[in-house]
């Protein structure tokens, strides 16, 4: 697939995807989402990649789904899933971590896309919001579901109902983002975090991702049980032997992802 709306590169063991529709503030149309899904699946399948970073421009991570593209849709157009939502969940199938590096606007589907990533690093100019209500619609890719889990019901209601934006500081205080960094450090910081993750044992990385995500889908007792089973299974890996041996020998581990 040739990409027209994203830029893809690798740096070491990190796959970097940049949303690239600058004239529309990276508004997410079906073509862009197809390309993003394709790039994510390829990185996920690539044994040389250990972590993925998703970013936009300095002005916008993404200003939402493409309003011009959506304006004429009928109920049946969207219900049948041929448009807008058809490829939005692809990112959830990715088993390697995806870090969102967010600068500027992350609105509507852009905020939802960032929340589908495993964690968000924000530049100090980042602005998050779910302004769909102003368009006579509601969030359609997790805004009413992931946002309350991330920032509390009260803030999620406030944002979805009033359409107000949350700046980077508020987003960090509310727990929506893991860290805030100066704009000119954003990509470097995200790439450094991704490089650290990619240097770990991939089986551990993937199990942690699965296990943390389980916390959102289960009771505490089930989640603890799930984690315990995953933990036991790490003792079947060569990387566990290597990691512990390396510690005792006071050297760095050489993980083989086995
Ligand atoms: C299409 C968009 C767009 C969008 C911006 N643009 N957002 N085009 N879809 N979501 C375009 C503008 O039309 C404009 O094009 C160019 O990008 C620059 O935008 P401006 O508005 O001129 O910039 P600015 O004044 O800086 O304002 C930035 C902004 C504003 C606050 C982000 O653009 C804005 O409110 N955008 C819409 C945000 C929104 O409502 N998002 C939710 C969409 S619904 P031209 O050609 O005029 O230069 C959604 C549903 C998700 O996301 C469903 C998921 C399944």
Residue 171 catalytic? no
CA of 64 to the centre of ligand 1 (A): 7
- Which ligand 1 atom lies nearest to the CA of residue 25? 17
Atom 1, ligand 1: residue with shortest CA distance:
66
Residue 132 catalytic? yes
Name the maximum alpha-carbon separation found in the chain. 65
Report d(CA 191, CA 214) in Å as an integer.
26
Atom 37, ligand 1: residue with shortest CA distance:
63
Which residue among the candidates 35, 108, 112, 189 is catalytic per the annotation? 112
- The pLDDT, as a whole number, for residue 87 is 82
- ipTM for the complex shown: 0.98
Q: Which of 5, 22, 25, 160 to mutate to test the pocket of ligand 1 (most atoms within 8 A of CB)?
A: 25
- The pLDDT, as a whole number, for residue 81 is 81
- The pLDDT, as a whole number, for residue 201 is 97
Residue 65 catalytic? yes
Report d(CA 57, CA 55) in Å as an integer.
7
Residue by residue, pLDDT tens for the chain (258 residues) are: 999 999 999 999 999 999 999 999 999 999 999 999 999 999 999 999 999 999 999 999 999 999 998 999 999 988 888 788 778 888 989 999 999 999 999 999 999 999 999 999 999 999 999 999 999 999 999 999 999 999 999 999 999 999 999 999 999 999 999 999 999 999 999 999 999 999 999 999 999 999 999 999 999 999 999 999 999 999 999 999 999 999 999 999 999 999
Residue 112 catalytic? yes
CA of 230 to the centre of ligand 1 (A): 43
Which residue among the candidates 50, 64, 108, 109 is catalytic per the annotation? 109
């Amino acid at each position: 697939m040739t990409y027209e709306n994203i830029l893809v590169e690798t740096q070491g063991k990190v796959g970097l995807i940049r949303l690239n529709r600058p004239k529309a503030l990276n508004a997410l149309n079906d073509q862009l989402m197809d390309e993003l899904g394709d790039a994510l699946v390829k990185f996920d399948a690539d044994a040389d990649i250990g972590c993925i970073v998703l970013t936009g421009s300095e002005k916008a991570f993404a200003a939402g789904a493409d309003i011009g593209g959506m304006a004429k849709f009928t109920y049946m157009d969207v219900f049948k899933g041929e448009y807008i939502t058809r490829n939005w969940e692809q990112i959830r199938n990715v088993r390697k971590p995806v870090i969102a590096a967010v600068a500027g606007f992350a609105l509507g589907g852009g905020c939802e896309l960032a929340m589908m990533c495993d964690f968000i690093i924000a530049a100090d100019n980042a602005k998050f919001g779910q302004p769909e209500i102003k368009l006579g619609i509601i969030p359609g890719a997790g805004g009413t579901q992931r946002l309350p889990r991330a920032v509390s019901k009260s803030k999620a209601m406030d944002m979805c109902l009033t359409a107000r934006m949350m700046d980077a500081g508020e987003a960090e205080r509310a727990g929506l983002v893991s860290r805030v960094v100066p704009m000119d450090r954003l990509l470097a910081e995200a790439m450094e975090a991704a490089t650290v993750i990619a240097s770990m044992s991939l089986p551990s990385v993937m199990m942690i991702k699965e296990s943390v995500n389980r916390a959102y889908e289960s009771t505490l007792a089930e989640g603890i049980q799930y984690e315990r089973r995953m933990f036991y299974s790490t003792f079947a890996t060569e990387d566990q032997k290597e990691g512990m041996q390396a510690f005792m020998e006071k050297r760095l581990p050489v993980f083989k992802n086995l």
